[in-house]
Structure 1
Amino acid sequence: MHWANQFNVCCFLDSNQYKDAYSAYDFIIAADVEAELKCLSGMAFNQLKTFYENHRKWVFGFFSYDLKNETEDLHSDNPDYLNFPDLYFFIPRYLVAYKDGKAEVLIGNDSILDEINDFKVGENTTPVSLKINQKLSKTQYIEKVETLKNHIIRGDIYEVNFCQEFFAENASINPVQTFELLNEVSPTPFAGYFKIYDHYILSATPERFLCKRGSKLISQPIKGTARRSLDLAEDEQIKIQLKNDIKEQAENVMIVDLVRHDLTKSAVKGSVKVEELFGIYSFPQVHQMISTISCDLNPDIHFIDAIKNAFPMGSMTGAPKIKAMKLIEQYEESKRGIYSGSFGCINPDGDFDFNVVIRSILYNTDNKYLSFQVGGAITYQSDAGKEYEECLLKASAILKVLGLVH
């Protein structure tokens, strides 16, 4: 990773040894640019389709949440100090994949492995103390959640993913070292590091947005969170409670239905199925409820259109999706940008794997603005105070990495 970081652009995707039926590699790292596509607005998905078809090579990149404005009659007017592109993809000059203890150079000469082995890693730098601010106070957050619950009572929506931003100005961090620490404190199956010139994504996300293997599409939304305990018996009890929690199940099944609907737009008729409902998976800070939905991709639909048809992911929007996104724009204080978007890769055969950008530090070295957002599903049964505490739980690994909690 330190070797890749010497280039202006690189992407590192790490499964952290989680067993997953759909991951092709344990980790994969792409570095330097042979060709790139950067979109600020307008026809981004179509441009990506053309870019991919013209090259038919490995491409790595990200989708900003605000591409919703291309797929629906929506807008994003909240302030944005990170200034990521709406979409960015690149073809790497170097690509190394690792599987079952063996490194393989997919693009470039095998001599790269010697170069990587000989690369001198700089000494750890002492992090500058950061002053983290919140866009919303606890009181303001609770007031907004209660207002959103009134929208639910009125019948406008029945679930919405509401998020808040934590940020630091004049922030100075070492992105690689910060990611290494985050990945150590909170190893997750879809973790990643993405550098694009002055912009960085340091992600400890546990969630897959969408994956394609052959003609099969797989989505694995997360809805349902519970804390971990150091006491093994209590931890197991918390896990059982999450599994049987009616509120958490209700949150999860609403999003499962939404994802089923999104996949139907791209599926062979009758092929959409729920492979696992309410699966409980454990990560260092939290237990999560994860469901798996799949379908067979209609051969008449381009796989990039299938991504577009499912974007943004239901777990980060709500239901009904369009109204939920309108309320998100109305009540949140910050533009989401790359947060709750997605990054990952597409291979030369058109298979792909993309995560959900949550539990992630976003950093602009040009203006030294650092940001991370956290949120959760608001339903009729939500307790605003408990939702706020869940936000802090989700932020705990990042706060620890930034030296703000111990």
Structure 2
Amino acid sequence: MKTPQNISEFKQKALHWANQFEVCCFFDSNEYKDAYSAYDFIIAADIHAELICSAGNAFDQLKNFYAYHKQWIFGYFSYDLKNEIEDLQSNNPDGLNFPDLYFFVPKYLVAFKDGRAEVLLGKESVLEEIELFQLQKKEESGTIQISQRLSKDQYIHKVEALRSHILRGDIYEVNFCQEFFSENAEIEPVQTFELLNKISPTPFAGYVKVHGKYILSATPERFLCKRGSKLTSQPIKGTAKRSTVQEEDEAIKLQLRSDIKEQAENVMIVDLVRHDLTKSAIKGSVTVDELFGIYSFPQVHQMISTISCEFNPEIHFIDAIKNAFPMGSMTGAPKVKAMKLIEEYEVTKRGIYSGSFGCISPDGDFDFNVVIRSILYNAESKYLSFQVGGAITYQSNAALEYEECLLKASAILKVLGS
């Protein structure tokens, strides 16, 4: 246990120290007060053991991996694991080529809470190593040329087509996304993440490096966490742009809180999450702890609801993740039909986007986010990608939905100098 004098310097050194290794994870709550988070930030580095899955039985393989090691594990689930859960396919082009699932037992694990650093795995002297780590002079990433897979007209045309599916009664809501990308992109991932985390600090931010593949995330959304016998999910549906004028900003917040369209989007997903949680819950224990909570982040206000249940101990906790995956906020309702339409109308494979990363503790507690507002980068192929989207309902205005996508992309575009 150690109390660093300068916490932000220790955090920065810890990230750069971890980045020396082939594999590392850095998860940062950015000092958002959250009743469910076990730590303020946590750093996992170097591989004691790893699991890489690209086809079939990923959840069962993860169960076996966890059972064998009974230790802290860190990693991610890609959105396309949906194909193992339901009769679905992913045939859209994929420029990133991340594995479908990756988890590792770290050699070093440092957790930080209430001003104190603690070594959970590895030798105690690692804290001193971090303190003494010399930060290299920053290399500036140049401006990255960003392209869009869809033109504004194409996007609007697809949204109108999805609205016609809603009118026909195929679905109530669908989360429709578009890709921004860059080929031959060269970035310094760790510095790019630091800039993103500075411009857009969020409660589930993270830096994930897996053999030259990177997730640089400023996500504000929790997918699912387990604390003891309680499962909690916090879907986001509802977004409003912030104002620099305080009175105006407060008015926007109140307007979002009472916006009937945003509430309708949110409550559809709350119902879907309640349904997903019942599969893992003690009967009758699913509750909505907060409906339409408004939370503020640097670029946007968001409408967030909190749903929880008592976890049924007869169910394996990894099945609880599987039972709720992919998260309803990124699919729509009904879930399976929405995912079929996503595959039909989107033009890029989602991969890790709208999947989840996080960690599982030795006693089976876990915390996983939703991979949105995130830069994905394959250093070997120099392919950089980020996707943005939103909920399409019958009330949706296609042109306004397009503007909301650009708002959600604004922090990343600023970071990349575009």
Superposition TM-score, scaled by structure 1 size: 0.99
* Equivalent-residue separation in structure 1 for 2:152 and 2:400 (angstroms): 11
- Partner deviation per Cα, 1:126-151 (whole Å, 9 max, x = no partner): 21221100000000000000000000
Which residue in the other structure is 2:213 paired with?
Answer: 199
* Equivalent-residue separation in structure 2 for 1:182 and 1:353 (angstroms): 22
Matched, 1:143 2:157: yes
> C-alpha root-mean-square deviation of aligned residues, in Å?
0.4
- Partner deviation per Cα, 1:203-227 (whole Å, 9 max, x = no partner): 0000000000001000000000000
Which residue in the other structure is 1:392 paired with?
Answer: 406
* Equivalent-residue separation in structure 2 for 1:324 and 1:243 (angstroms): 26
Q: How does 1:302-317 map to 2 (within 5 A)?
A: 302-317=316-331
Q: How does 1:118-157 map to 2 (within 5 A)?
A: 118-157=132-171
Of residues 111, 119, 124, the one that matches 1:110 is 124
Which residue in the other structure is 1:218 paired with?
Answer: 232
Q: Which runs of 4+ in 1 moved over 3 A?
A: none
User: Do the aligned partners of 2:23 and 2:47 also contact (CA within 8 Å) in 1?
Assistant: yes
Of residues 270, 280, 297, the one that matches 1:256 is 270
Q: How does 1:77-96 map to 2 (within 5 A)?
A: 77-96=91-110
Which residue in the other structure is 1:235 paired with?
Answer: 249
* Equivalent-residue separation in structure 2 for 1:273 and 1:113 (angstroms): 41
Which residue in the other structure is 2:3 paired with?
Answer: none
Of residues 260, 265, 270, the one that matches 1:246 is 260
User: Do the aligned partners of 2:54 and 2:100 also contact (CA within 8 Å) in 1?
Assistant: yes
SS of equivalent to 1:279: strand
The residue type equivalent to 1:106 in the other structure is: L
Which residue in the other structure is 2:299 paired with?
Answer: 285
Unaligned stretches of 5+ residues in structure 2: 1-14
- Partner deviation per Cα, 1:153-207 (whole Å, 9 max, x = no partner): 0000010000000000000000000000000000000000000011000000000
The residue type equivalent to 1:162 in the other structure is: F
* Equivalent-residue separation in structure 1 for 2:229 and 2:305 (angstroms): 20
Of residues 339, 342, 349, the one that matches 1:335 is 349
- Partner deviation per Cα, 1:335-369 (whole Å, 9 max, x = no partner): 00000000000000100000000000000000000
Q: Percent identity?
A: 77
**How far off is 1:119 after superposition?**
1.1
Q: After superposing the two structures, state which structure 1 stretch, 198-207 or 119-128, moved more.
A: 119-128
SS of equivalent to 2:16: coil
**How far off is 1:256 after superposition?**
0.1
Of residues 175, 193, 199, the one that matches 1:161 is 175
**How far off is 1:15 after superposition?**
0.3
Which residue in the other structure is 1:34 paired with?
Answer: 48
Which residue in the other structure is 2:90 paired with?
Answer: 76
Alignment size in residue pairs: 404
The residue type equivalent to 2:348 in the other structure is: S
Matched, 1:360 2:374: yes
The residue type equivalent to 2:328 in the other structure is: G
Which residue in the other structure is 1:347 paired with?
Answer: 361
SS of equivalent to 2:170: coil
* Equivalent-residue separation in structure 2 for 1:185 and 1:129 (angstroms): 17
